[in-house]
């Protein structure tokens, strides 16, 4: 399969708060002249991902492994890269745990097909991209049209995702907890457990829209949003994921773990409900689409001081 990956981008105006810089294999996002995140989407990647994500104060809120190695981070789940969107079973192929070293023969890839536009601006900037979900034999199962809008605010960072999946052939999203819209958080934001490494101190807590607190009350439960907050280098920070009410099967289930995995997943009912008779899979025929919208808010403070419940009402 031959794909054109890169074309030249005119420089954004100097007055823009959000700017994009495209270099081979990635697109760098800058806010107010400072690095915010980078989209890795070159031919060497198994799936596109944003890494790292930073707060408005510059703190990194996502785990650096496996892209980097820093003290105090665990080295589990090398496929947990920054922020990504994928699923562990599409027609039986794995787009989630899809590092080259994993699953010999079953791991598939999400490959950049084209960049529609990159538009910076004073208050926000938008990327429009298209990806192919390709099986191990190189056959495209579906195409993904993704719009990401990066908002610049004085005290927080926000990204809106609008993702439309269009099957090329009949596809079935299998019932597995391994999905779908996900972030792997930095070590200080993990919830403390007996297995936690001693440093840095784990300070995190996840809270959902239904009043659930901690992994035991959030993992595998329905909720319109989850906020995962803690303290990084003396600053109270949190990351919220909001599930748009128009999304399929809203409100989503949450595959959110104390070790920092933070994911919205509508498909994994077998595991979430602990019921092998549950049917979480979904089949989509050619000519039909699946559309998902999410908002990610990186904010100072905790769920209450950040007003995440009110933010969700605005998002609706």
CATH number of the domain that 32 lies in? 2.70.98
Q: Report yes or no on 7 lying in a domain.
A: no
Pair type for strands 261-265 and 49-51: unpaired
Q: Report yes or no on 160 lying in a domain.
A: yes
Looking at the structure of the chain, the number of domains it has is 1
Q: Report yes or no on 236 lying in a domain.
A: yes
Q: How large is the average pLDDT for residues 198-224?
A: 97
The residue segments making up the domain with residue 310 are 18-315
Q: How large is the average pLDDT for residues 2-15?
A: 40
Q: Collapsing DSSP states into helix, strand and coil, what is residue 119?
A: strand
Q: Report yes or no on 275 lying in a domain.
A: yes
Residue, of 297 and 11, whose pLDDT is higher:
297
Q: Report yes or no on 188 lying in a domain.
A: yes
| pLDDT of 16 above 80 | no
Angle at the Cα of 294 from the Cα atoms of 80 and 214, rounded to 5 degrees: 60
Q: Report yes or no on 2 lying in a domain.
A: no
* Mean pLDDT score across all residues of the chain: 93
How many residues are given for the chain? Answer: 316
Q: Report yes or no on 301 lying in a domain.
A: yes
Q: Report yes or no on 216 lying in a domain.
A: yes
pTM of the model as a whole: 0.93
């Amino acid at each position: 399969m031959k794909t054109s990956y890169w074309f030249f981008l005119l420089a954004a105006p100097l007055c823009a708060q959000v700017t994009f810089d495209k270099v081979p294999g990635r697109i760098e996002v800058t806010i107010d002249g400072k690095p915010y995140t980078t989209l890795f989407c070159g031919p060497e990647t198994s799936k596109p991902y944003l890494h790292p994500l930073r707060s408005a104060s510059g703190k990194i809120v996502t785990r650096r492994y496996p892209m980097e190695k820093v003290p105090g981070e665990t080295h589990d789940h090398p496929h947990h890269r920054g922020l990504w969107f994928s699923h562990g079973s599409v027609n039986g192929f794995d787009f989630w745990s899809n590092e080259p070293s994993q699953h010999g023969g079953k791991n598939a890839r999400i490959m950049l097909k084209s960049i529609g536009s990159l538009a910076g601006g004073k208050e926000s900037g938008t990327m429009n991209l298209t990806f192919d979900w390709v099986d191990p034999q190189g056959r495209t199962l579906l195409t993904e049209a993704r719009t990401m809008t990066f908002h610049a605010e004085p005290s927080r960072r926000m990204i809106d995702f609008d993702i439309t999946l269009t099957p090329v052939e009949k596809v079935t999203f299998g019932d597995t907890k391994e999905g779908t819209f996900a972030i792997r958080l930095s070590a200080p934001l993990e919830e403390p457990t007996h297995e936690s490494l001693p440093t840095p101190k784990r300070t995190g807590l996840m809270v959902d829209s239904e009043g659930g607190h901690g992994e035991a009350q959030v993992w595998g439960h329905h909720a319109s949003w989850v906020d995962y907050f803690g303290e990084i280098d003396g600053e109270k920070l949190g990351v919220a994921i909001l599930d748009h009410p128009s999304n399929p099967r809203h409100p989503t289930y949450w595959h959110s773990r104390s070790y920092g995995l933070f994911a919205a997943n509508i498909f994994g009912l077998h595991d979430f409900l602990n019921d092998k008779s549950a049917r979480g899979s979904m089949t989509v025929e050619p000519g039909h689409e699946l559309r998902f919208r999410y908002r990610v808010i990186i904010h100072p403070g905790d769920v209450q001081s950040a007003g995440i419940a009110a933010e969700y009402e605005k998002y609706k």
